[in-house]
């Protein structure tokens, strides 16, 4: 006697279960893929920011520690990652030739190092040291003064070493992952459904005056994160004390 196999059609209950499972897993899977792509781009930006900090401090060492010269040098390095908002999405113009570089460099906003839709620069360079007080009341410090170079004290030897911190304001181009990563990075208060803890717990906060502009940009739909790197180089030109800050305003990893 032969057996006849029949194919049973799935009932509506099984189809509904599959739809619910897909609705739960699919957004998580999409966020995972987009998040990996976003983190990869941020890692690339961090590596380039380290090189931009080197180019900035080198330009400052040659050009009397002038901030404008340092920011121009750093911006030239970061230009391939500079993006702009086009119809609600970030667009990164690629650079494949010298003419592409010139075209993008002369774009309004880029050439002035100023974002047209956010109150911040594309690249910021802050001098960590030396400070004006380190100049000893002089208006100009000789970079090759043997009296300075021969001093045994560590603090005195830093007088002719330029220390800078470069910040690249990275505009996050990947949709959906932007909001989650940006909120986590700035420790922004999230809806309770995405938080671990009780409603009675005191919400965590992250306060720093230099981060207010990033919160303002996020409220306008522009998710921007600062990526920082520092570099030190001995001066190769005289330091103009007027270019030096009164105090060290560089931010560490724990501001």
Q: What is the pLDDT of residue 195?
A: 45
Highest averaged pLDDT of the listed ranges 52-61, 115-124, 150-159, 166-175? 52-61
Mean per-residue pLDDT for 40-51? 93
Average pLDDT, the chain: 80
- Domain ranges for the chain: 14-193+204-243
Q: What is the pLDDT of residue 254?
A: 42
**Which pair of structure tokens corresponds to residue 12?**
């509506």
Full strand arrangement of the beta sheet holding 123-129 = 123-129, 161-171, 224-234
User: Which is more confidently placed, 156 or 85?
Assistant: 85
Mean per-residue pLDDT for 79-90? 85
Predicted confidence (pLDDT) per residue in 137-159, tens digit: 788 888 876 665 555 566 667 77
Please tell me the distance from the alpha carbon of residue 86 to that of residue 100, in angstroms, as a whole number. Answer: 19
| Residue-wise burial string across 169-190, b where 16 or more C-beta atoms lie within 10 A, e elsewhere | bbbbbbeebbebbbbeebebee
Using 50, 70 and 90 to split pLDDT, how confident is the model at 124?
Answer: very high
Three-state SS at 88: coil
Q: In what helix (H) or strand (E) does residue 234 lie, and over which residues does it extend? A: strand 224-234
Predicted confidence (pLDDT) per residue in 6-32, tens digit: 555 555 566 677 777 777 887 778 778
pTM of the full predicted structure?
0.78
- Ranges of H-type helices in the chain: 12-62, 67-78, 98-105, 146-149, 154-157, 177-185, 212-219
User: Which is more confidently placed, 6 or 86?
Assistant: 86
Q: What is the pLDDT of residue 247?
A: 86
Q: What is the pLDDT of residue 75?
A: 96
């Amino acid at each position: 006697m032969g057996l006849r196999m029949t194919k049973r059609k799935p009932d509506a209950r099984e189809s509904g279960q599959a739809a619910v499972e897909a609705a739960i897993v699919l957004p998580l899977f999409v966020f995972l893929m987009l998040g990996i792509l976003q983190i990869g781009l941020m890692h690339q930006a961090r590596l380039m920011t380290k090189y931009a900090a080197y180019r900035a401090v080198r330009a400052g060492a040659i050009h009397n520690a002038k901030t404008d010269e340092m920011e121009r040098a750093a911006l030239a390095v970061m230009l391939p990652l500079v993006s702009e908002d086009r119809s609600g999405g970030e667009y990164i113009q690629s650079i494949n030739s010298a003419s592409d570089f010139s075209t993008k460099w002369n774009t309004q906003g880029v050439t002035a190092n100023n974002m047209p839709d956010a109150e911040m620069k594309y690249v910021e360079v802050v001098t960590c040291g030396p400070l004006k007080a380190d100049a000893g009341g002089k208006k100009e410090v000789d970079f090759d003064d043997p009296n300075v170079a021969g001093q045994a004290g560590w603090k005195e030897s830093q007088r002719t070493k330029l220390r800078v911190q470069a910040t690249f304001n990275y505009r996050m181009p990947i949709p959906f992952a932007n909001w989650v990563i940006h909120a986590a990075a700035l420790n922004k208060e999230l809806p309770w459904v995405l938080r671990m803890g009780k409603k009675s717990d005191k919400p965590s906060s992250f306060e720093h005056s230099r981060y207010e502009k990033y919160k303002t940009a996020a409220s306008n739909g522009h998710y921007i994160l600062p990526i920082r790197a520092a570099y030190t180089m001995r001066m190769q030109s005289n330091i103009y004390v007027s270019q030096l800050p009164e105090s060290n305003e560089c931010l560490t990893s724990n501001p």
